[in-house]
Amino acid sequence: MKTNDVIIQFTAKIVFFIIFFFSIHIFLAGHYTPGGGFVGGLLTSSAVVLLVLAFDLNTVRHVLPINYTYLTAIGLLLALATAAFPMFVGKPFFTHFFDYFNLPLLGKQSLHTAMLFDSGVYLVVVGVTMTIIQTIGEDE
């Protein structure tokens, strides 16, 4: 008998976007309020896990064709590059820079290179969590 999963699938479609945008918010607000790359990455991967629960592993892999191993590698490279960049301009390892910019629509904002390091952390957390869950989930 074919099971009927309309309610959870429809809810998962809506709730995925709530969780995903909240994770982006947590990630961007991490410099001044609680949050940051780690929590944001965990929230993003939990949104993807919700899709995996409601639908199927192969469906989600078809919708989000991401190789999470590469995502982890990109995150590690980004973090290492951010940490190593000051060495080439004569500063110690891991020196961060910041400055104020007038962005369109957003006004005067401070941009900090810790953000790049944090996005590396974000990518690594998403990649590692999703790799673990996919590896366990597709084990027949």
Partner 1 sequence: MNVNQMIEWAAVILILIGSIVSVISAYGMIRLPDVYTRSHAATKSSTLSVLTCLLGAFIYFWVHDGFVSVRLILGILFVFVTAPVAGHLICRAAYRSRVPLAEGSGEDELKPKLFPEEK
- Nearest of 125, 121, 77, 117 to residue 94 by alpha carbon: 117
> What residues between 5 and 44 interact with partner 1 by CB under 8 A?
7-8, 11, 14-15, 18, 22
Q: Residue 1 or 105: which CB sits closer to partner 1?
A: 1
Closest CB 18 distance from partner 1, rounded Å: 6
Binding footprint of partner 1, residue count (CB under 8 A): 8
CB 49 within 8 A of CB 100: no
Closest CB 139 distance from partner 1, rounded Å: 22
Longest dimension (CA), the chain: 68
Closest CB 14 distance from partner 1, rounded Å: 7
Closest CB 1 distance from partner 1, rounded Å: 8
Q: Three-state SS for 91?
A: coil
Residue where the block lists tokens 């639908």: 55
Distance of CA 134 to the CA centre of its chain: 16
Distance of CA 129 to the CA centre of its chain: 10
- The site map against partner 1 for 107-126 (x = CB under 8 A) is --------------------
Q: Residue 21 or 97: which CB sits closer to partner 1?
A: 21
Strands 98-103 and 107-112: antiparallel
CB 44 within 8 A of CB 119: no
Closest CB 90 distance from partner 1, rounded Å: 42
136 binds partner 1 (CB under 8 A): no
Binding residues for partner 1 (CB under 8 A): 1, 7-8, 11, 14-15, 18, 22
